[in-house]
Structure 1
């Protein structure tokens, strides 16, 4: 949906249902250097800080809210988390629109990936290797352990360390490495501790990759290519600055990978479709350059690869309003795979752009018969209803959607638009208030709900609901403020 392409300061992320980590034979003897860090920070407190961090991130970073890409990275992340050890929190995976190659992790199971990773990872296993590395930082509780190390080396109290950490949130691209710069401990000890964390995250990540069915050699292969490409660069990518990559580390990861059973991993059409979508819409590449790249790759592509490349070309054509060219590419893709959500979403964009609303709704309702609770399809349907000016029907669907996915800003934005177009001011204010709350803008959220309460009948159910939400928001505001002290 083109709506979501523009909403880059919000977040679409679904809570992942975590199964118990799968136990497998370990091919690596990992040193037990402590994953508990109980004296530093409880897991519950980490989750609180993670939630606060996410609100700050939503208001400060160009988060990609694209439902298809969010679904893809959440599914990839869930597969890896299900096969990781020492999982103590839910995990959330988000995508940030940034061509720089980077990824970072933070308290509470939050993992962020830059769109630039899709431009450089040549396979799903290579992208998975980066995600597995970041998951390992969290399961090994490297951030809490770094704070514990700093507390031993400096006279600062834990409260001061946590305060410094919250300030570091303003520059999240530094990731876990940012915590190393918050005290006056010696530079060398900080470098050594960071490298120790990175090496351990590589080892644990490779084991997670193996258990999850990915190519374990993808990690050293991806790291080697990055290191070689930027070895003499005056300004290396952020990933290499925050994830130190000396030759010894690359060699260690290569040797570690060779200890695992070698397997041939099937081609992933989902990854290639996601990659084409990033190139077409989130890589900051103009239409002509994107088309040139797709056409160049098509000359040497297999039939499976051609599918994702033609999909990417179709998206470029839709966004540049060349609808006939887009339809010529998309129609055979959709007919061959009518339940493929990448193709369904693109066909929806094409239909909405040409005001073929009934055709789009018929296609989506058919897909929803077999996938009734899929958030991508539900959002597409409600998006079409809003654009078709069927606001009452859209509102009914979006009320259910936002109840099920309260952290999805796409649902609240569509609901606000539907209410505005019906002249229901109090509903629009409340929906916008939820968007403010998701960014930690508590004063604005409370103000919106106060106005909404004043607009409805005294003693009505709506007023009771709005007043109850005001009370909840004030509690959240106080908790949030306490974390920053």
Structure 2
């Protein structure tokens, strides 16, 4: 993700030697608000849902093993942001936020490899490594605090960005402090490894991911593997992970766990969404037509067909997108998880082609629809001028997921289409609040308050009361932000 220079708005730490959990969360909130505005931030429901399927069991395992304390569990956000970036990177931020680039998801071969990266980053947070680094920096000079965090983000995007972000002798000092210490890296490895099996993942994923990083380390670093800069790989770390695999578990040290069609398809989606360029999209479209394609393993064929169909849709070739999507649908019909992704892709292609009815027809309704189904179905219903049919499911979702800005915005569109202007304004305000943009939220809540004052048949007095309450809460949060500056 690009880095927005928000150094001047980062909260100060005073003279304390330790960063409290509340202060770390506030710092994380400030940084994350800037990242939400980043043009590289992407909320793709399909990829995000898959990552959450891996992330949530790791959190549960961390709690069960006592690695994630009740205080951190309550105070920290535990949110993952996706970056539309082809570089291979993931990074932990203050306050329990993690950033994951689509480039990383696009290269991991199994869900276990992805789980190993998330478990490692999660352990940096639960062990308060970030707080300790920031504390060390604040002892040197207060100016280094904001520069360290923002410099780390810049380095994740561009190896030279850190030097551009800071000037003079500070640049070298910050560059030297971007990395966690070797002891911190080993601790994150050890604790992260311990989370794998309890969370339902093969611990071998840790070793196979290390081997993938080691292979990349042997190549010239062209900036596409920034994870190696912020998490330098050592032979000691690799040997430690390999020694933890029980004898006989894998046929060879670091033997990768099996690639599923579902994972291969999500990885293919991540590669397409990372904006690789028109030439690369065309190469992917041509791949299923190549000689020897049918002899490849099923997951590889599923990934190639998925990439070709989605790339065709992005290049506005609806006919080829539909053709390839049907081939994919037939190929993975016996695999429920992969077939679900194929059906979602069909609906996405139809919606992009302007056929909302066909998109709806390809999606099973189901009472327990997950977030990708909810978002895509709502988009199709709005396009088909059926907003009433979308409202109940959206309201149910935000009641249990109040920080979901995307769904709040869809609810705002649904209310607007039904002529419920006051409810639409409130949903828009909640979407802004979910992204920590309290100033924008206050603006929308005040607009709703003004509309309610004018009265009229469209004014729901219960909704007006909710707006009054939420406005006071947002104004309080806005004052806290101002005080922190």
- What TM-score do you get using the length of structure 2 for normalisation? 0.77
Which of 52, 60, 64 is 2:42 aligned to? 64
Q: Cα offset for 1:315?
A: 1.6
Contact 2:408 2:428 in 1 (8 A): yes
Q: Which residue does 2:283 correspond to in 1?
A: 289
How far does the alpha carbon of each residue in 1:123-171 deviate from its partner, in whole angstroms, 9 at most, with x for none?
33222221121111112221123345556xx366xxx48x924873475
Matched, 1:222 2:209: yes
Q: Which residue does 1:481 correspond to in 2?
A: 482
How far does the alpha carbon of each residue in 1:81-113 deviate from its partner, in whole angstroms, 9 at most, with x for none?
333341134432232111111111123332221
| Alpha-carbon distance in 1 for matches of 2:171, 2:220 | 29
Q: Which residue does 2:51 correspond to in 1?
A: 73
Q: Cα offset for 1:233?
A: 2.8
Which of 121, 131, 134 is 2:121 aligned to? 134
Q: Which residue does 1:437 correspond to in 2?
A: 433
Aligned positions of 1:80-95 closer than 5 A: 80-84=58-62, 85=65, 86-88=67-69, 89-90=72-73, 91-95=78-82
Q: 1:310 to 1:192 in 2, by over 3 A?
A: closer
Contact 1:317 1:325 in 2 (8 A): yes
Contact 2:129 2:180 in 1 (8 A): no
Contact 1:360 1:384 in 2 (8 A): yes
Matched, 1:110 2:103: no
Matched, 1:233 2:233: no
Q: Which residue does 1:472 correspond to in 2?
A: 473
Q: Cα offset for 1:451?
A: 1.4
Q: Cα offset for 1:379?
A: 1.9
Matched, 1:267 2:262: no
Contact 1:100 1:238 in 2 (8 A): yes
Q: Which residue does 1:407 correspond to in 2?
A: 403
Contact 1:136 1:205 in 2 (8 A): yes
Which of 120, 145, 150 is 1:164 aligned to? 145
Q: 1:105 to 1:327 in 2, by over 3 A?
A: same
Quick check: 205-214 or 185-194, which moved more? 185-194
Unaligned runs of 5+ residues in structure 1 are 1-7, 10-37
* SS of structure 2 residue aligned to 1:368: coil
Aligned positions of 1:294-309 closer than 5 A: 298=293, 301-309=296-304
Matched residue pairs, number? 437
Q: Which residue does 1:313 correspond to in 2?
A: 308
* SS of structure 2 residue aligned to 1:389: coil
Which of 382, 389, 392 is 2:385 aligned to? 389
| Alpha-carbon distance in 1 for matches of 2:473, 2:108 | 43
Q: Cα offset for 1:308?
A: 3.0
| Alpha-carbon distance in 2 for matches of 1:234, 1:140 | 30
Query: Larger RCO: Structure 1 or Structure 2 (Cα < 8 Å, ≥ 6 residues apart)?
Result: 1
| Alpha-carbon distance in 2 for matches of 1:215, 1:436 | 39
Unaligned runs of 5+ residues in structure 2 are 3-15, 157-161, 456-460
| Alpha-carbon distance in 2 for matches of 1:373, 1:333 | 22
Q: Cα offset for 1:446?
A: 1.0
Contact 2:422 2:463 in 1 (8 A): no
| Alpha-carbon distance in 2 for matches of 1:325, 1:417 | 31
* SS of structure 2 residue aligned to 1:83: helix
Contact 1:111 1:134 in 2 (8 A): yes
* SS of structure 2 residue aligned to 1:100: coil
* SS of structure 2 residue aligned to 1:108: coil
Contact 2:148 2:174 in 1 (8 A): no
Contact 1:341 1:377 in 2 (8 A): no
Contact 1:104 1:174 in 2 (8 A): no
Q: Cα offset for 1:196?
A: 2.0
Q: 1:428 to 1:284 in 2, by over 3 A?
A: farther
